[in-house]
């Protein structure tokens, strides 16, 4: 509530309620990655396409059919990633045998897990930023706000299972060559979303210039004829968003999750490799029984 202060000279100066002041340290400009998650999430935002410049004299925006294919393509992408990682996970447990590691191999395992953490950290951070933005600006997503939340949670989920699969793979490898090979295989899979995003952004329709006048082209119904990927290719100038954490109201689960992400001592996370080594020694006999059942 604002309170008026009479200075005695007849001038009334409103006092600012300090409770309403924003903390500038909680406001950041965040550059989203050029990956499939960010582009799909941006496509759901109405304000982005309202500010998008016209293309050859026509306003570009996603239609209902575009939204259908956006969701279908994203679900297909997530399904492919989960199936691929699951098959690799099953392959490790059914074909590989774990042996107690030397201290050199153990140090290499911890080092590779630390590299994996640093590599996947931007994925977690971006997903949290998109989650907060969606909660604070839900009106910008219209009837697609639930899918915007879904995209953010999917990025967190895929990054999480990829990270733990890397831990499992490097723990099951018994030589330095196998360690590097297994780490590289999952690192390539984690880059698939970036590769798709790069392909979308580089395949942009040609704009108008002196050599390509609009009068030489059939432009009627241009927005409806344009592919979804062509519309998404215009979003490279909108990858920077403002992450304002002031006055953010989230649900209990989301609040607890974001608090955990912000305050967990992530620098210690690679050390989880050490107890997993001991755990694998304990469960190895049970895995051998499963392997015999499968082989028979």
- Asked if residue 250 is part of any domain, the answer here is yes
Q: What is the pLDDT of residue 84?
A: 87
Range of the structural domain that residue 91 is part of: 27-202+228-285
- Asked if residue 22 is part of any domain, the answer here is no
- Asked if residue 71 is part of any domain, the answer here is yes
- Asked if residue 296 is part of any domain, the answer here is no
Q: What is the pLDDT of residue 66?
A: 92
What is each CA distance from 2 to 13, 32, 105, in whole angstroms? 10, 37, 64
- Contacting residues for 37 by C-beta, under 8 A, at least 6 apart: 126, 127, 130, 151, 152, 154, 155, 193
- Asked if residue 31 is part of any domain, the answer here is yes
Give the tens place of pLDDT for each residue, 259-268.
666 666 666 7
Q: What is the pLDDT of residue 65?
A: 92
- Asked if residue 135 is part of any domain, the answer here is yes
Q: How far apart are CA 45 and CA 260, in angstroms?
A: 28
Give the tens place of pLDDT for each residue, 158-214.
988 888 888 888 877 777 777 787 778 778 888 888 999 999 988 887 666 655 666
Residues of the chain short of pLDDT 50, as ranges, are 1-4
Q: How far apart are CA 79 and CA 131, in angstroms?
A: 21
Q: What is the pLDDT of residue 265?
A: 66
- Asked if residue 185 is part of any domain, the answer here is yes
Please tell me the total count of domains within the chain. 1
Indicate the length of the chain as a whole number.
Answer: 296
The single-letter DSSP state of residue 58 is B
- Asked if residue 281 is part of any domain, the answer here is yes
Q: What is the pLDDT of residue 78?
A: 94
Element (H, E) at 31: strand 27-31
């Amino acid at each position: 509530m604002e309170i008026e202060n009479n200075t005695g000279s007849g001038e009334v100066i409103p006092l600012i309620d300090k409770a309403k002041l924003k903390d500038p340290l909680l406001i950041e400009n965040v550059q989203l990655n050029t990956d499939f998650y960010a582009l799909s999430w941006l496509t759901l935002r109405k304000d982005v396409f309202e500010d998008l410049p016209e293309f050859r004299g026509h306003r570009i925006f996603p239609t209902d059919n575009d939204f259908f294919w956006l969701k279908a393509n994203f679900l297909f992408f997530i399904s492919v990633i989960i199936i691929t990682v699951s098959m690799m996970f099953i392959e490790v447990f059914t074909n590989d045998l774990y042996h107690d590691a030397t201290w050199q191999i153990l140090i290499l395992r911890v080092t590779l897990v630390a590299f994996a953490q640093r590599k996947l950290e931007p994925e977690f951070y971006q997903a949290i930023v998109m989650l907060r933005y969606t909660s604070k600006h839900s009106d910008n997503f219209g009837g697609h706000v639930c899918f915007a939340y879904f995209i953010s949670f999917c990025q967190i989920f895929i990054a999480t299972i990829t990270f733990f699969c890397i831990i499992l793979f490097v723990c099951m490898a018994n030589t330095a060559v196998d360690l590097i090979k297994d780490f590289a295989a999952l690192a390539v899979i984690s880059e698939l979303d970036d590769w798709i995003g790069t392909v979308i952004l580089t395949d942009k329709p040609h704009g108008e210039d002196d050599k390509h006048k609009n009068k030489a082209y059939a432009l009627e119904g241009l927005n409806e004829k344009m592919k979804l990927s062509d519309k998404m290719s215009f979003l490279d100038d909108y990858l920077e968003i403002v992450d304002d954490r002031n006055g953010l109201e989230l649900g209990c689960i989301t609040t607890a999750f974001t608090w955990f992400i912000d305050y967990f001592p992530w620098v210690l996370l690679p050390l989880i490799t050490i107890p997993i080594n001991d755990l694998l020694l304990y469960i190895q006999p049970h895995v051998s029984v499963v392997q015999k059942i499968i082989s028979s």
